[in-house]
A and B are shown apart, each in its own frame.
Chain A
């Protein structure tokens, strides 16, 4: 799994975000280094939703944050609408970032419990001095209506008075306040019940259409991203395994890890038993990742070549790219 390589890059006029050879490392003490994201490249076209999928600890959240330069990556370029964010001075970066917003995983802890909903949503407008006080008040109401909350009922309440699903709606309203062109959603529904999950996923789809957003959707659950994404990128231990359209990835996954992820999704039908065994073990430590293909320690098809040589991303069918020496056929 290793996926270095740029075969999947599209380089056309529609690309709004281009990430090249992004590396994020954290110092772990004792001279050790956590390789959170290792030389990842990808691009996102206008109006597209790219889903980044992988297990806990694969670096997907770090990757999402590194796009926003939170914190700036160790090396690599993030080019958003022609501007290289990694090279911008601090103040210009801050203003460039208003066009990209993030929705965080835990809707309850990402809202300040001491602030009223009206202030939570107005805060970004106020920080950037957008509009007069009256205009901002109108905007806040409009945003709340758009995310399906009644302004009269919620404006003067605080986040602890709401359920997880409602808090996530408030977070989404807040992230849309500055009318961003790109939204990065980090596991926006992982903390929610299935019934609420569906509501939030539909809401994100609606917001995408209404505001013409380009989205990056980070999740560990392949079933969740199926409905919302146009392109899926599967990650493992800081590297890319597979990139492709949802229909292709689900019907014929080429990477053994993608196939294991699909087989882990529970099927709500007792008459259909899984025949495959779930993926065993846990990912190795990113402090000392395996040589060659990083997935080889858990891969059913691993050979000596996988330990010796890192696979590069290559196209196995139109639009489907995989980094594996022995792809599934």
Chain B
């Protein structure tokens, strides 16, 4: 559905060129759900926004190719890319509190793209809006059309955001941390809703999150990003069964687990992401990795294939016999 090739995104900053996304290759097959996982600042959101062509400004430089539905997005003008929004691709933003316009009614915001993209008249668009709201399981959709965002809870607003995103039957849906601002119970509802909608509407989906627990049950493929690069990529089942990257492992171990004993300490990833303006020449994770060797400091690891499409970027992957640093 979408194929991203050698994507680079650089921002010009007063401290020098900041390379937020480095050489990212990603395939999003039709009908599949792909998870992009990483910490804050790993470049996952920037990569997706760059792929959609949402980044603009004189300080942004984007290189690489993005082929969507047989069309080369990077060669198109802004106006042409914009015509793909809604019907081709759509995005659900992270914060449902601020993504909606606070002074316009839900019905107006929801019918906007229906009228603009699908050319519906006002009455038909509002009728379709009510259908969309019931599709995302909002009770009493007619009444909801007349409400303002402040009258809704966070979970309800996120449902409205999803309704807006799917209103024109997009082929590809980006969901940028769709549940991070929500309660666990609502998170479970929203994730289930997204999975069902994807199946019923035959969409592809990209799920961006920092929580490996979220991708485990809701994606077919996972790409783990660290410091602007994809460091591990595989089918979800393969990734969890044969984890190669110490980073992915560390990310998984830091999730609080309900099977932990009371008083047990959580495992943490010490340190932080490398400075994106002044990167180390070796592996970006080297200072935080408990398996790091001299080679990791000196040489940047390439993306290797384990043979079954499981890609990883590590000199000493897990399962490799190497003494753990004391």
Contact = CB atoms under 8 A, between A and B. Distances in A.
Given A266-B213, A271-B237, A278 B256 contact: no
Choose among B191, B217, B262, B263 the residue with the greatest number of A CB atoms under 10 Å from its CB: B262
A194 interface: yes
B30 interface: no
Interface in A259-279: 260-271, 273-274, 277-279
A226 B266 CA distance: 11
Contacts of B250: 195
Interface string A90-127: 00000000000000000000000000000000000000
B110 interface: no
B183 A266 contact: no
Interface residue tally of chain A, by bracket?
Answer: 35 or more
Contacts of A55: 183, 185-186
Given A247-B262, A267-B213, A268-B216, A195 B256 contact: no
Interface string B199-223: 0000000000011111011000000
A57 interface: yes
A75 interface: no
A257 to B, nearest CB: 9
A224 B256 contact: yes
B124 interface: no
Contacts, number: 136
Interface in A227-244: 227-230
A198 B240 contact: no
Contacts of B265: 202, 205, 227
Contact of A282 (B39, B155, B187): B155
B154 to A, nearest CB: 7
B304 interface: no
Contacts of B184: 220-223, 261, 264-265
A201 interface: yes
Contact of A264 (B187, B240, B251): B187
A268 B252 contact: yes
Contacts of A281: 139
Contacts of A13: none
Contact of B251 (A194, A230, A262): A194
Interface string A42-62: 000000000000011100000
A201 B240 contact: no
B188 A201 contact: no
B185 A264 contact: yes
A220 B179 CA distance: 13
B153 A268 contact: no
Given A227-B263, A266-B187, A282-B153, A199 B268 contact: yes
A278 B192 contact: yes
A263 to B, nearest CB: 8
Interface in B163-214: 183-189, 191-192, 210-214
B260 A226 contact: yes
A273 B256 CA distance: 18
B254 A198 contact: yes
B210 A193 contact: yes
Choose among A57, A227, A265, A266 the residue with the greatest number of B CB atoms under 10 Å from its CB: A266
A161 B270 CA distance: 20
Nearest to B37: A194
Given A193-B39, A267-B217, A223 B257 contact: yes
B96 to A, nearest CB: 12
Contact of A194 (B156, B211, B241): B211
B40 interface: yes
Nearest to A192: B40
Contacts of B236: 270
Interface string A274-294: 100111111000000000000
A274 B195 CA distance: 14
Nearest to A245: B262
A163 interface: yes
Contacts of B260: 226-227
B153 A195 contact: no
Contact of A266 (B40, B186, B189, B211): B211
B269 interface: yes
Contact of B188 (A56, A205, A268, A278): A278
A265 to B, nearest CB: 6
Nearest to B154: A56
Interface of B: 39-40, 139, 153-156, 183-189, 191-192, 210-214, 216-217, 236-237, 240-241, 250-252, 254-258, 260-269, 272
14 contacts: A55-B183, A163-B272, A193-B40, A195-B39, A198-B255, A198-B266, A221-B256, A245-B262, A247-B261, A264-B185, A266-B216, A268-B212, A271-B237, A282-B186
> Which 8 pairs between the two chains have the least Cβ-Cβ distance?
A266-B213, A278-B188, A198-B266, A268-B213, A264-B188, A198-B254, A264-B184, A223-B256
Interface of A: 55-57, 163-164, 193-199, 201-202, 205, 220-224, 226-230, 245-247, 250, 260-271, 273-274, 277-282
